[in-house]
Chain A
Amino acid sequence: MATLFGSGIKRREDPRLITGTATYTDDVKLPGLLYAAVLRSSYAHAKLTSVDVARAKRAPGVVAVYTGADLKDKLNTVPCAWNVPNCDLKVPPHPVLATDKVRYAGDGIAMVVAESRAAARDALDLIDVDYAALDAVVDPEKATQKGAPQLHADVPGNVAFTWKVAGGDAAKAFAEAAVTVEQRILHNRLLPTAMEARAACASYNPGTGQLTCWVTSQNPHIHRFLLSVMTKLPEHRIRVIAPEVGGGFGSKIPGYPDEALVCFASMDLGRPVKWTEDRSENYKVTIHGRDHVEYVSLCGTKDGKITGLRTRVYAGLGGYASTAAPGIPTILHGLILSGPYTIPNIDVTVYGVYTTTTPVDAYRGAGRPEATFLLERMIDLYARKIGIDPVEVRRKNLIPKDKFPYTVATGLTYDSGNYQGALDKALSLVDYKKFRAEQAKARKEGRYLGIGVTTYCEVCGLGPSQVAGAVGFGGGLYDSALVRVYPTGVVRAYIGAKPHGQGEETTFAQIVADEFGVPVENVEVVAGDTETTPQGWGTYGSRTTAVCGSAVKVAAQRVKEKAKKIAAHLLEASEADLEWKDGKFSVKGSPDKGKSFAELALMANVAWNMPTGVEPGLEATAFFDPSNFVYPFGTHACTVEVDPETGETKILRYVAVDDCGPQINPMIVQGQVHGGVIQGIGEALQEMAVYDEDGQLLTGTMMDYAIPRASQMPNVETAHTVTPSPVNPLGVKGVGETGTIASVPTLVNAVCDALAPLGVTHIDKPLTPARVWAAIQQAKGGKR
């Protein structure tokens, strides 16, 4: 039988997703359902002098109105769950509704619960709030300076933490270096923009004391824990269901006040309550991504050997520390700063800074795009300064393929890699030499062509639970699967992760079907309901396949071992004499007499004739905890032409060579790369959340926040190399985030390369036509 592993079968999720038959949280309808709406602060920073809800309470259809004062003793504050050690982390209280002060435009002030969504919304206009406005500060660097407005009483200078990592001796390396390049790098604040905004629907049963909460979650078990903390209800009385989730990109990892509020309202009123975000609210209150100001220096020899990297980072956290926020600019950014290179000396300081803006947390890539961007940008600046081809500089510094496992200066140990192989393949696909010749010719004609080549590696497949504990992550990072075989031989795998668009319903079925020799249609994958799935930690950090997929594999193997025992018993043979072939256990040498998986499923479940000491039933649960992270890698190359008259960038070709180990479903891998690259093109060329000085979000709707559109997108050419990881039984590495990690520097370096003849060295992303044109004008004016 041909294996399904490696087969690009169609995603089984798609028919329901594209025909409108999927069930999302907002589709949940319950008898007696009430609707909630939250009044959001219109000021970025203000004292609340009074909140008068009397008129709203009297409005038609309104059942209840709650303020921060009403809930102060009834709900706990919103927890931060990544308490990064050794950085003096300060997490001030984040009340579910503001009590005395608001800290970003969008901070919740009151919640209305009404018989209809419209009545709830109408009543918001009847709440009278008196604000005493305070100064806002939106820039994380400025927020640390003397005289900046203070957000929290116990956080002087708004500095939530100061985190350092160092390896080697950077001071010495810089002191002795022949060449140093320096650059201030800005990571534009991004709005995750999942197609489905957030929603939560809570139903409390006063009779049983059980609470069920449907919520847009990437990690229902984490949400169960966070809701238990916020509502004070014991964890075993809370059931969290994440039904269909329409994308997350990190924005549906955190615990938010909103889901705790609907849970409380349902417990208080004894009726189910639903809240659904609209897009403007989503942009205002759902977490944002990136928002770093970085001061970066790189040093090396005149012939292209990089000897040191130093960066000082101001990472904006927004008004409060969101669930995973402290870990993003530190663990997931600082530790991976040497990328795929043998940089011996590293020195990183990260300041996490509160600003009067929407909280910032994980966004597709989370820390690693920032790290990869600054490193790749600096290498191009360095290469230009020493006059050596940037690809040659990269090649000179890549970790050799025979050095794995390789420990970098920051202490991470990379699992496996062949960086040169991916680089060679990408250069050949993009025909690097030929392009350089075309570029030279075009320059003579006054045309500006450029190329960017990024060699990257990243850390994902989060991760060993012991490491999670050591770095302060408030949970485990193993994952789980319960594989259950029904009497008729069909199978369900209940998993601890929560895919929300990535395709594991298909790929995990491929794993199980291969193991059991059954048609893939006979296997279903179930996720998202804490009542039916074993404890797991969710889908993020490109971990689902590497960690949860491995749990599926191990659980299926356990089931098969039991099936083998039963087969041996029924065939009156010893297990050692059995072989598994064509979906059957049979005695070696007599292949005609065998027991198919379906027969064994039936016999196990009816238990008429079980071997001694073997329990009835055919199912197994596995908890898989990897021994290390996985480190996917690759090379992306992009060619562009810039119109110097208008600053417009046209992408000519985009080539992505990624290595995520063996691919379960190459079509799904390709889809992940396409999606990631295009999201990265958004970050590189056009997406940026903009606040004014008063902390008002100016890109508050999709009329002003420019996510990429299909009509603007290039053909993304994908290719792969295959280097298995030794840290999991599938050999797989994550590929969900490589696109956003590799594409951003590739694009920006291509544009800067195109404009090199004009003297342009760096442009802050996003490289909108306006910014590119301004940079050209500035360069023409003689300034560099």
Chain B
Amino acid sequence: MPHPPRAMDNASAPPGRGALSDWWWRNQRALTPFILLAPACLLFAVFVLYPIAASIRLSLHDWDGVGPQTWVGLANFAELFGDPVFYTALANNLCWLALYLLAPVFGLGLALFLNQDVRGIRVVRSLFLFPFVISQVVVGLIFAWFLNAEFGLLNRLLGSAGLPAVAPLESGRWAIFAVILAGLWPQTAYCMILYLTGLTGIRPELIESARMDGARGGRLLWHVVLPQLRPVTFIAAMVCVVGALRSFDLVAIMTAGGPYNSTMVLGYYMYEQTFLSLRYGYGAAIAAVLFALMGAFVGLFLWRLLRREAA
């Protein structure tokens, strides 16, 4: 049966070519967003949202990966909070986070250094970004070898300068810093490019008038430039926090958590407990803690983003 066209309908919808076609023309404006969103939402629900819920559920169970799952309540978490390796991993993650916050500082320094208009500066900036473009696996391999006690390039350099050899990756005390150092390399490059973009957006008249008033160097940077770079600083810090909590690749490649778990991080401990010790429930509990930790930071990020969206 024919429907009278409504005002919101497309003005020049072609004349009826069957009920279905009519119906589509009348409703396409309302239906299109859902059709366009459906595939993305479906995949995201299956591979991201459902797994989060399933992992949290699993953290309340004992499971070896094949047999039946047995409900254990909060026992996994109780064990976790008495597990010294867990505390090592947590402390390493927090240490990682603290040191990663140096990346925005170094990145800003590099960006200020490279924010000049000389011939070839584009190429130089690109070359500085290289460490970020290559895989963390490659970064890990490069540093593992650079720092290797026997064949390492670092010890050759130290040796030729008459200094004693070092073995950072075999030291329970220093290995974690060596791994984080490797991570700082690409992370600093990333922060540098963020700040370079931020610096090009700075309003020149503010700089000039501050210079007229006699502001120079550090004071100009602190009182005029940095306030304008605040959004960049926020994003850089956020990216570093997420990166520090996600750390896995470098640990897996450079130390596999050793020596004696001294470089363990939550991400790697979870992987190890699940696949090497076949304690899926315990692994899921570690993942849940990591998730909660990330949730706290991401919540802060989204809160700010939403406030901006509302403004």
State yes or no: do A and B come from one complex. Answer: no
